[in-house]
Amino acid sequence: MNKKRLGLLRKLESIIGNECYNGSTQNWGPGGRFEGEGREFRYPLTVLGEDGSKIKVKSDRPLSLDVAMTGYYAFGANQLHIMRALEQVLSYLEANNQLKI
């Protein structure tokens, strides 16, 4: 995998991670003024560091290929391996839809 492909995978992950929304969040402004329900948020990407430790990362943090590809979203006891899934999507598009990266 080259640097360009890894950059694309990280950008795609960032787009997906920025599309989370919680409609139950109560938003209160200055002076206790209610500003409505719901809030968008960035879902945290977790990676496994070189030593195996879990690290929450931001989109702009430089990561090695090996560390970046461990990226997942934690949903309680479940994990969505988003970086591996996005790599599979790109591979599928290259093989079946003439995508050139």
User: Tens of pLDDT along 16-39?
Assistant: 999 999 988 888 888 988 888 888
Side-chain half-sphere CA neighbours of 12 within 13 A: 18
Write out pLDDT tens, residues 55-90.
Answer: 999 878 899 999 999 999 999 999 999 999 999 999
Residue-level pLDDT at 89:
98
For residue 55, the tally of other CB atoms under 10 A from its CB is: 16
Cross-strand bridge partners of residue 6? none
Residue-level pLDDT at 29:
85
Residue-level pLDDT at 25:
87
Mean pLDDT of 39-43: 90
